[in-house]
Amino acid sequence: MFERPVPRWLAWATDPEQLRRAPFLARSPLFSGLPRRLLARLATRFFEKDYNPGEVVFEEGDPGRALFVIVEGAIEITRATGQGVYVLNTLGPGDAFGEIALIDDFPRSATARVTTAGKLLILYKSDFDGLMEGNARIAVVVMRNLSRLLALYARNSPVLVTDADPAPRSAGQP
C-alpha cells in the first residue's frame, strides 16, 4: 500500500512514520524479496533510536539480541585482535548490521560505533521470532537473504590459521 500514493482525503488517517519505514526496509538487502504486506508487518516491529557521534551501539563480546538498520548517519564496525583494533567496515543509510543475533545467541563478534549522528531502526530477536512463528514466508525470505550475506562475508574473509603448529597426521587419518 505504501508504493501507491495515499488519496488526499485519507491522509489524515495514515501514519507517516509507517509509510516512510516500510519502503525504506524494502531497500535493505536483508529484507529484499518480501511482499509489501509482510514488509509492512515487519516494519511495525522495529524501534527507532537517535544516536550521537562516538556512542557505542554494541561492543564485541556483548550478548547479541537485536538487528540494526541505519536510517541516517554512519556506523563503524571494528574488531579487536591481539595486534590492535581493526576497522572492518563503515556502513551508511540502508545498511543493516548485527544480523547474526537473529540466528544465534553467541556474543557480538565486533564493535559498532556511531561516527556520524543519526537514527537506527532496531529489531529485537524475540519480536522477529514471534513474527516468523506466524509467517513462514518471512522466515524463508529473511533466512535466504541472511545466508547470501553470510556467504558473501565468508568469501570476502581471509582464511585464518587457528593452529600455528598442527600435529602431523598419520597415514589413513581423516
Partner 1 sequence: MKVSRLLTWGGLLALAWLARGLVLPVFLAVALAYLLNPAVAWADALAIRRSVAVGTLYAVIISVLVIAGALLGPGLFTEAATLMDRVPTLARQIDAGINSAVRELSEVAPAIRRLLPEGGNWVQRFVLDRSPGEPGDLFEHVGHLFLLMILVPFFAFFMLRDMHRIIALAMNRLPSQHVETSVAVWRELNGVVGRYIRGVVLDGLAVGALAALGLWAVRVPYPLVLGGFAGLANVIPFVGPLLSAAAAGLVVVLTPGQGLAGVGRVVVLFLVIKVLDDTIIQPFTIGRSLHLHPALLLGSVVVGSHALGVLGMIIAVPVATVLQETVRLLVEHRRVLARRDLRQQTITPT
Summarize as ranges the residues that interact with partner 1 (CB under 8 A): 1-2, 6, 12-15, 18-19, 22, 37, 40-41, 43-44, 47-51, 55-66, 80-82, 105-107, 114, 122, 124-127, 130
Which long-range CB contacts under 8 A does 37-46 form with residues at least 24 apart?
38/135, 38/137, 38/138, 38/141, 40/1, 40/2, 41/131, 41/135, 41/138, 42/123, 42/131, 42/138, 43/18, 44/18, 45/123, 45/124, 45/127, 45/128, 45/130, 45/131, 46/21, 46/121, 46/122, 46/123
Contact residues for 120 (Cβ-Cβ < 8 A; gap 6+): 48, 49, 51, 57, 68, 69, 70, 71, 73, 75
- Shortest CB 134 distance to partner 1, Å: 10
Least distance between partner 1 and beta carbon 149 (Å) = 20
Cβ nearer to partner 1, comparing 56 with 151 = 56
The alpha carbons of the chain give a radius of gyration, in whole angstroms, of 20
Return the closest-CA partner of residue 69 out of 1, 20, 139.
Answer: 20
Q: Which is nearer to partner 1, 27 or 37 (CB)?
A: 37
Q: Which is nearer to partner 1, 134 or 172 (CB)?
A: 134
Neighbours of 21 (CB within 10 A): 22
* Least Cβ distance, residue 144 to partner 1 (angstroms): 22
Residue 27 CB, nearest distance to partner 1 (Å)? Answer: 17
61 vs 92 by CB, closer to partner 1 = 61
CB nearer to partner 1: pick between 50 and 151: 50
Shortest distance, CB of residue 122 to partner 1, whole angstroms? Answer: 7
